[in-house]
């Protein structure tokens, strides 16, 4: 497997970020491949390599309640997760504040449940119904989203809410620097 320079830099940063934090052991490649087969998706890099080689969850951030092991849900999720379908594309490409906007600006029929349950793995929670997702299927693949009672917001400087790079590595690097999640809003 050929790794480009940016990917290698991201993995080095991820290894450094979790070097001194107590964490769960990585899954290893065989177990990761079995999980991906069961889920029906291949995880985006560098999260894929991170789970296989570096860490599969930790109690000390990110997010505030810790990084969940692959395929698990926070204790406050509310249901058993049986409605989650990772092979169905994540339905959003831009923020949607359902507390104030009855439907996304794209005009397509999207339901809040689809945003929570389709095309993403849950990375963890900041409490109070705020969940961090990594999109694994759809146009937003590889991006991190915060989904809460108020709506869904993408994470990354190109979306205008933060100064951090998008994707899993950018999200972790931002956390390591101790910055507020949405520091450009």
pLDDT digits (tens, 9 = 90+) for 11-69: 999 999 999 889 999 999 999 999 999 999 999 999 999 999 999 999 988 888 899 99
pLDDT of residue 111: 87
Helix H or strand E segment including 120: strand 120-127
Q: Is 129 left (phi over 0), alpha (psi -120 to 50) or beta?
A: left
pLDDT of residue 3: 56
Question: Averaging pLDDT over each range in 3-7, 72-76, 121-125, which range is the top one?
Answer: 121-125
Q: Distances in Å between the alpha carbon of 10 and those of 49, 112, 120, 145?
A: 10, 32, 21, 19
pLDDT of residue 80: 82
Global pTM reads 0.92
Question: What are 162's two structure tokens?
Answer: 């933060």
Q: Distances in Å between the alpha carbon of 26 and those of 3, 50, 87, 164?
A: 19, 8, 24, 26
Instruction: Tell which residue, 167, 180, 154, has the closest CA to residue 9.
Output: 167
Residue 71: other Cβ atoms inside 10 A: 16
pLDDT of residue 106: 65
pLDDT of residue 107: 59
Question: Averaging pLDDT over each range in 23-32, 69-78, 100-109, which range is the top one?
Answer: 23-32
51 vs 43: CA distance, rounded Å: 10
Residue 1 scores a pLDDT above 60? no
Reported as a pLDDT band with limits 50, 70 and 90, residue 185 is: low
pLDDT of residue 25: 96
Residue 88 scores a pLDDT above 80? yes
Query: How buried is 104 (Cβ within 10 angstroms: 0-12 exposed, 13-18 middle, 19+ buried)?
Result: buried
Give the mean pLDDT of the chain: 91
pLDDT digits (tens, 9 = 90+) for 136-149: 999 999 999 999 99
* Edge-to-edge order in the sheet of strand 144-147: 120-127, 130-135, 144-147, 152-155
Average pLDDT over residues 172-179: 93
Instruction: Tell which residue, 152, 158, 155, 145, has the closest CA to residue 182.
Output: 155
């Amino acid at each position: 497997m050929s790794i480009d320079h940016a990917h290698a830099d991201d993995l080095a940063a991820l290894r450094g970020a979790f070097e001194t934090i107590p964490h769960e052991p990585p899954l290893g490649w065989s177990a990761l491949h079995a999980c991906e087969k069961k889920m029906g998706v291949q995880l985006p890099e560098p999260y894929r390599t991170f789970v296989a080689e570096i860490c599969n969850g930790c109690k000390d951030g990110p997010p505030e309640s810790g990084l969940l092991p692959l395929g698990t849900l926070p204790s406050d999720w509310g249901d058993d997760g049986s409605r989650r379908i990772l092979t169905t594309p994540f339905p959003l490409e831009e923020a949607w504040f359902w507390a104030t906007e009855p439907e996304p600006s794209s005009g397509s029929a999207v339901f809040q449940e689809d945003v929570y349950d389709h095309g993403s793995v849950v990375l963890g929670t900041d409490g109070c119904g705020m969940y961090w997702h990594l999109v694994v299927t759809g146009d937003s693949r590889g991006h991190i989203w915060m989904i809460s009672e108020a709506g869904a917001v993408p994470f990354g400087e190109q979306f205008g809410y933060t100064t951090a790079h998008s994707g899993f590595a950018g999200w972790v690097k931002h956390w390591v620097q101790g910055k507020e999640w949405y520091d450009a809003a």
